[in-house]
């Protein structure tokens, strides 16, 4: 998002789909034969390969990214009907910042924990309310940052709906597969905000 201001381009459905496909294809660099051959790839893989995710690290990451991009495209089309595609930035910020901070905050400060499952395994994984609070706080912050895209009624409704919807989606989603659920909850709750504001008006 920061680079878009420095290297502007005209965003479209094509650019979203193309960037998603390139990103997912780039994960092929981290397959065992390649990372076993080049240490730089092994180091890069080690930066996101958590021990508790093995042996599903690449499977979870690639399928999550594919599903997330599919949901993102649908949400952009949906918001486009309201001419409010800029509001997808709320969801992107919460997924990037809130969910990104949830794990380190939960690991360091998490005292109130709950468990969740993952795909392809019966193993249970731990999340914390402190980590979930990061998602909630980032939701409020993201709505406030996008305040200029909302009228007064939409702003109040967005504060009441979007942060909580995304926090619950993150809490209930499968381990290492929360991206699609966050984008779906973020996009759907944003549309709900726009629809409810019409009823209020």
User: 3-state DSSP call for residue 175?
Assistant: coil
pTM comes to 0.78
pLDDT of residue 192: 95
Tens digits of pLDDT across the chain (201 residues): 677 678 877 777 788 788 878 888 888 889 889 988 999 999 998 888 887 778 878 877 888 888 888 888 888 889 889 899 899 999 999 998 988 888 788 778 878 887 777 677 777 777 888 988 999 999 999 999 999 999 999 999 999 999 999 999 988 888 778 888 999 999 999 999 999 998 886
pLDDT of residue 174: 81
CB-based contacts of 195: which residues, under 8 Å, 6+ apart? none
Rounded Cα gap, residues 68 and 130, in angstroms: 24
CB atoms within 10 A of CB 115: 10
pLDDT of residue 92: 92
pLDDT of residue 115: 77
Please name which of 87, 70, 68 lies closest in space to residue 79, comparing C-alpha atoms.
87
């Amino acid at each position: 998002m920061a680079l878009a201001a420095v290297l502007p381009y005209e965003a479209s459905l094509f650019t979203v789909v193309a960037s998603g496909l390139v990103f997912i294809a780039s994960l092929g660099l981290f397959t065992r034969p390649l990372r076993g051959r080049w240490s730089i790839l092994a180091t890069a893989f080690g930066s996101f390969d958590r021990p508790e995710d093995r042996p599903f690290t690449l499977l979870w990451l690639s399928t999550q990214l594919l599903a997330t991009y599919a949901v993102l495209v649908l949400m952009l089309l949906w918001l486009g009907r309201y001419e409010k595609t800029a509001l997808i930035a709320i969801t992107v910020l919460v997924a990037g910042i809130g969910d990104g901070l949830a794990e380190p905050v939960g690991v360091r400060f998490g005292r109130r924990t709950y468990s969740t499952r993952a795909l392809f395994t019966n193993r249970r994984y731990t999340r914390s309310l402190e980590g979930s609070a990061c998602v909630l706080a980032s939701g409020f912050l993201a709505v406030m940052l996008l305040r200029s895209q909302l009228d007064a009624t939409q702003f109040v409704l967005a504060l009441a709906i979007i942060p909580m919807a995304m926090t619950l989606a993150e809490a209930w989603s499968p381990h290492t597969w929360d991206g699609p659920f966050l984008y779906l909850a973020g996009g759907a709750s944003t549309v709900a905000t726009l629809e409810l504001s019409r009823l209020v008006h």
